[in-house]
Amino acid sequence: MILGRKDLLKAWKAGRIRFDPDIQQEQIGLSSIDLRLGYIFTAHKDITGLTVDPLADGFEPANITETVDLAKQPPPVGQPVKYELKPGGFVVGRTLERIVRMPLDLCAQVQGVTTAARAGLTIHATAPHIHPGFVGSITLELSNIGSSWTLALVPATRICQLIFFKLLSPVSPKEVATLSSYLDQMLPFAKRQVGRRTARHRRAQASKD
């Protein structure tokens, strides 16, 4: 079952769905919640002849990626800061909402917005699903699939939408702690660490849900 506007407003006002920084009520649509683009972008370095196995144990891309934080750069005079994504380009970003907290009985999917899609911007590659109990920022795999336009990615603009689904049966805090990946992620290329949450985090989540 997909949550509609009435259910989303109720869950948000009750604190069952939480964001930091918090969203504004106008970000809640008919059946989704809009999230804004953050300031941090991580791109692959252009290294001739490089081959990587991203699914290998211990894969660490720090030396073959470069990260820019636009919040630390002065904006051009009279213009907002922006990240320019060339045709065929790919960059990993995250939402301005640094922390998204999911209850144990809801999951979500992140989708792009129509206006950006028509310009050639895709929001995620193949990983739109957000598990129940997730805590962290939403990673965005941003691609410019167009052939002509360079796309300006401006932080704080609405970049994606979350569609929430009701689980038939809620998961337990123990299941979240032992089965979830990328919990508490704060960087675009966060390390995949299953079951990294502490007992204190699990008790806090259980008490809130």
Q: Shortest CA distance to 103 belongs to which of 14, 4, 38?
A: 14
- Which two structure tokens, joined as six digits, stand for 130? 């957000």
Read off the amino acid at residue 87.
P
Of 26, 60, 97, 141, the catalytic one is: 141
- Decide if 26 is catalytic: no
User: What would the 3-class secondary structure string for 70-100 be?
Assistant: HHHCCCCCCCCCCEEECCCCEEEEEECCCEE
Which run of H or E residues covers position 36? Answer: strand 33-44
15: left (phi over 0), alpha (psi -120 to 50) or beta: left
Active site residues: 141
